[in-house]
Amino acid sequence: IRAAARPTGGRWPLSRVLDVSDPGALDVRAIVTGGAGFLGSHLCERLLGDGYEVICFDNFLTGRPDNVEHLLVDPRFRLVNRDVNDFIYVSGPVDVVLHFASPASPLDYYELPIETLKVGSLGTFHALGLAREKRARFLLASTSESYGDPQVNPQPETYWGNVNPVGPRSVYDEAKRFAEAVTMAYRRKHGVDTAIVRIFNTYGPRMRVDDGRAIPAFVSQALRGEPITVAGDGSQTRSICYVDDLIDGILRLLHSDLPGPVNIGNPHEMSILDTAKLVRDLCGSTAPITFVPRPQDDPSVRQPDITIARTRLGWEPRTSLHDGLTRTISWFAGQLTESRQVA
């Protein structure tokens, strides 16, 4: 299938291949950088389910082997401890390269500013170089942070953004904006078949308890009965998407021929204070809410315009906030029980 059908200079007809009704019969090979992280682990799982052989490169900077331990029994899955800022070598054919390696939680990238800039720049060059060599489709995990603190709400892909290039968040925002620019340069100069997804705030199982992002913080605080830390007065907004919906949108983009950028996220916008109260209620907790200082350049509003995803990919989120949060809370409850038992 693979070598014979791949058009020279054109793109691998993945959409045709994936129409096969028995996914086990497929023989397509994916590289996922950052595959042991929150999103990467869900992505590896879904790709294996769709019939891919998956090689995951991760240096466990912010991810954990535990996230993909359950996949190791599958001979089509391989986990490689590798820093993608170093050259990436893979023998044999590769059909798709999904570049997800990067710290993503603000707490992580404040602590790891240089690592974040390096993986967005050097890591992206290496992942694109691999895609070029193998004539694979390349997908970059970019972010709503490319829009910075937006002055347009909701954000369409045509909005150029409002980023402070020297503020503490710039290590992430500018690394991703640079990664988008490199991706487009490889597309224009080298003809690499590329796609850029701008991912909006996503939540679900396998986020770290100490991740620092709003949902893991609120859920673990509510479950422990500790004060729930709302930044500022909590009037800033976010639009949160359940991980399964996000992965579905990403796979649709991968199997399309769209270059993007395409926003994938849930357009249901809520204030952070209301989000904290909802999480507390769903946890059945009476934990108090405490107001803490707001980080510098924290975006005031965020909502994806998903017109392109709806019309070109036939995608929209399906999981209700209630269902997504309930599943996430029960996963975190399991984690907290496990850590108490270990202690």
Task: State in Å, rounded, how far the first CA of the chain is from the last one.
Answer: 52
Going residue by residue from 36 to 55, which x/- string records binding to ligand NAD, judged by CB under 6 A? xxxxx---------------
Asked if residue 119 binds ligand NAD (CB under 6 A), the reply is yes
- Minimum distance of ligand UDP from residue 264's CB (angstroms): 15
Binding-site member from 99, 134, 213, 252 for ligand UDP (CB under 6 A): 213
SS3 55: strand
| Residue (134 or 238) nearer to ligand UDP, CB | 238
With CB cut-offs between 5 and 8 Å by kind, which of ligand NAD, ligand UDP, none does residue 60 bind? Answer: ligand NAD
Return the residue of 45, 53, 58, 193 that touches ligand NAD, per CB under 6 A: 58
Under 8 Å between Cβ of 279 and 218? yes
Residue 38 binds which entry of ligand NAD, ligand UDP, none, CB below 5-8 Å type-dependent: ligand NAD
Its sign, for the CA torsion 110, 200, 56, 90, is negative
Identify the residue whose tokens are 């709503």.
Answer: 144
- Least separation in angstroms between residue 27's CB and ligand NAD is 26
The binder of ligand UDP chosen from 27, 269, 297, 298 (CB under 6 A): 298
Binding of ligand UDP by 118 (CB under 6 A): no
- Name the DSSP class of 162: B
Positions of E strands within 84-208: 96-99, 137-143, 194-199, 202-203
- Residue/partner pairs of 65-70 with CB below 8 Å, 24 or more apart: 65/36, 67/36, 67/37, 67/38, 67/40, 67/41, 67/206, 68/35, 68/36, 68/41, 68/44
Torsion angle of the four alpha carbons 33, 38, 41, 44, in this order, in degrees rounded to the nearest 10: -60
Interface residues for ligand NAD in 99-118 (CB under 6 A)? Answer: 100-104
Task: Considering only residues 53 through 112, tell me which ones interact with ligand UDP, judged by CB under 6 A.
Answer: 106
Residues belonging to the active site: 172
- Contact partner at residue 143 from ligand UDP, ligand NAD, none, CB < 5 to 8 Å by partner kind: ligand NAD
Element spanning 274, H or E = helix 272-282
DSSP secondary structure letters along 126-158: HHHHHHHHHT-EEEEEEEGGGGBS-SSSSBPTT
Interacting residues toward ligand UDP by CB under 6 A: 106, 201, 213-214, 217, 229-231, 236, 238, 272, 294-295, 298
Interacting residues toward ligand NAD by CB under 6 A: 33-34, 36-40, 57-63, 83-85, 100-104, 119, 123, 141, 143, 199, 201-202
